[in-house]
Amino acid sequence: MLDSRQIEGQWPTHRRFVMAGGDSIFVERYGPRWARSWGRHWQLPLHLHLVDPTDHALEQARSLAGTVTWNRLDPEWTRGEIEHFTHRTQRQDRPDQARDIWLVGIYQVARFWVTGHLIGPEQQVIMTDLDACATQPPNPEWLQDLYRQTGFQKYKNRLMATFGCASGAQRHQWREYSRRLEEILANGQGNHSMDQLLLRTVFSTAINRLQHQWCCHQDLADQTVEQRWQLFPVFHLKGTRGKKVDISGLI
């Protein structure tokens, strides 16, 4: 299970910084382009959180971000939870798929869990997916809305975890986010959408929604990659297809 005493590394002391997280594979695959794009366009310190990192991934993360935190999962607990999830979701004939889905849920939600425990009352954390890139400097007017309070983009009555701001002014709610996550996992109810489920549960789609469309959550297959890159300040393509798109020439 998750325990805040498992958190290692250094949490930023900066008032504002950009944060992403994932496992070793995601850091090695998407970390360089993430760090390059956000560092170039936002001019803010960068922070990475890793789950079960290899030594190589930790070394790479430290080369990409000014600060790094990480946590390790107990192998016996992880095996038991994956087995329980496999049976609960009736994926006995697809055990590898069940394992990947459960682990992705942990990798995605971990950055929010760490933030809930460590965010300071004056801090504002720009939360991004690790495979999301900044395409341009942020609009000053949009930034005022982004920094106003904890806020994420709304799509289909959900607060999307891809991009947003975690504000220390709502530190009590972020502590509640982490507590509820630990409760979900303690009860064997972990899944791949815990990050967005808890955003919707702890925060409000009416109050904690961003007013501008920072990124697109629709799978607009009729648009070229270049068009999508130019349209939104944050570039992110949904699903497996989107993750295979080469954007190295655009960053």
The dotted CATH code for 4-211 is 3.90.550.10
Position 11 confidence tier, pLDDT thresholds 50, 70, 90:
very high
Q: Where exactly are the structural domains of the chain?
A: 4-211
**In the predicted structure, residue 220 carries a pLDDT above the cut 60:** no
pTM of the model: 0.93
pLDDT of 110 reads 97
**In the predicted structure, residue 239 carries a pLDDT above the cut 80:** no
- Average pLDDT over every residue of 146-158: 91
pLDDT of 144 reads 95
Position 244 confidence tier, pLDDT thresholds 50, 70, 90:
low
Which of 112, 128, 150 is closest to 214 using CA atoms? 128
Q: Which residue has the higher pLDDT, 237 or 74?
A: 74
